[in-house]
Amino acid sequence: MENTKFCPVKLLPACKAAIWGGHRLKAEYGKHSDLPSIAETWELSCHPQGESTVASGPFQGTTLSEYLRKLGPEAVGTRVKGAEFPILVKFIDAAERLSVQVHPDDAYARRVEGQAGKNEMWYILDCEPGAQLLFGLKESCTREELEKAIRENTLVEQMRAVPVQKGDVYFIPAGTLHAIGKGILVAEIQQSSDVTYRVYDYGRLGQDGKPRQLHVEKALAVADTVSRPVESSPEGPRQEIQGGFMTRMKTSSWFTVDKLELSGNFASACGPESFQAFLCLKGCGDLSGGGEYLSLQKGDTVFLPACMGAYRLTGEGEFLRIFL
């Protein structure tokens, strides 16, 4: 294997439409699509429902999964078990509120859906004044009581409404009933899964003019009926590092996320245990490593192979760094 193949690559996302999507990802994050509006961009994805595409280097134009197959297991690292790429990273523009939904854990999703479950993290990029999300239940209940609330359309009243601010971070474990509210822009890091059980949709009609499908029975099978506290702060403190500040947003069994506030030169390295990925949220930067040089702008996503070794990120901006 030629070492020159192990270099950072830019990615182009798969763009997704939904009735609640808006225009900010086009206008502010440089996303290009023929869709009239964009609800989500799947920035780092090998999921068959929406793969990202390599946009730089000798493998330009290939899907991310094809690129990783050509490079071999050294590209993803030893923490990736099996053939599936484990992470999916998105931008989400909720111009209108999303449905109330819930995701299954790995055991249920593998058994019933044939794919991974979905634990996820939201980083609030921006929000309208007064914006809020729904997160879990105000009070614990039985499964029978939850079913009654769903059938009688009183579920929203029993959920916890959480005001959000720019910079908040939320971890949403599988089984948590939740909904992103109107006017919220999110960077989402999740397991590579597209399993969503919709429980309530405010009586809206889909793009086909019909009520969107609900998945009540499956939702009841996986929903957590215990009321749990909501935490909106990063996991770790904001620490000064070479080239700026670093904050550990979340460490989990499925992904680790750091926020980098860059003002200068940040030098680090990929190790054999995991790939790394950067999302440019604000400003710009230049990334060099593996003999490659990339210029990053707001909205760009870059993948760094695990075996690449040292890299340097220089510039002024805000980035999320994601790895296992």
pLDDT of 3 over the 50 cut: no
pLDDT of 195 over the 50 cut: yes
Mean pLDDT computed over 138-144: 97
pLDDT of 260 over the 70 cut: yes
- In angstroms, the CA 199 to CA 146 distance is 11
Q: Identify the pLDDT of residue 308.
A: 94
Task: pLDDT band for 136, please (50, 70, 90 cuts).
Answer: very high
For 140, list phi and psi in degrees, rounded to 5.
Answer: -65, 150
Tell which wins on pLDDT, 4 or 142.
142
Task: pLDDT band for 208, please (50, 70, 90 cuts).
Answer: confident
Q: Identify the pLDDT of residue 211.
A: 85
pLDDT of 294 over the 60 cut: yes
Q: Residues 24, 160, 198, 321: which is the catalytic one?
A: 198
- To the nearest whole number, what is the mean pLDDT of the chain? 96
Task: Give, in order, the Cα–Cα distances in Å from 46 to each of 49, 93, 289.
Answer: 9, 21, 23
Q: Identify the pLDDT of residue 116.
A: 97
pLDDT of 162 over the 50 cut: yes
Number of CB atoms found within 10 A of residue 201's CB: 20
Q: Identify the pLDDT of residue 2.
A: 42
> Are the beta carbons of 253 and 285 closer than 8 angstroms?
no
Torsion 99-103-109-114 (CA) sign: positive
Q: Identify the pLDDT of residue 1.
A: 39
Q: Identify the pLDDT of residue 52.
A: 98
Provide the 8-state DSSP code for 212.
P
Element (H, E) at 26: helix 24-27
Task: pLDDT band for 314, please (50, 70, 90 cuts).
Answer: very high
The size of the chain, in residues, is 324
Q: Identify the pLDDT of residue 158.
A: 97
| Beta bridge mates, 315 | 264, 285
pLDDT of 242 over the 90 cut: yes
Is the pTM for the entire model greater than 0.85? yes
pLDDT of 5 over the 90 cut: no
Mean pLDDT computed over 228-256: 97
Residues in Cβ contact with 256 at an 8 Å cutoff, skipping those fewer than 6 apart:
248, 250, 322, 323, 324
- In angstroms, the CA 219 to CA 147 distance is 9
Active-site residue, 198 included: yes
Percent of the chain at pLDDT exceeding 70: 99
Q: Identify the pLDDT of residue 4.
A: 46
- 198 sits in the region (left: phi over 0; alpha: psi -120 to 50; else beta) called beta
Q: Identify the pLDDT of residue 209.
A: 80
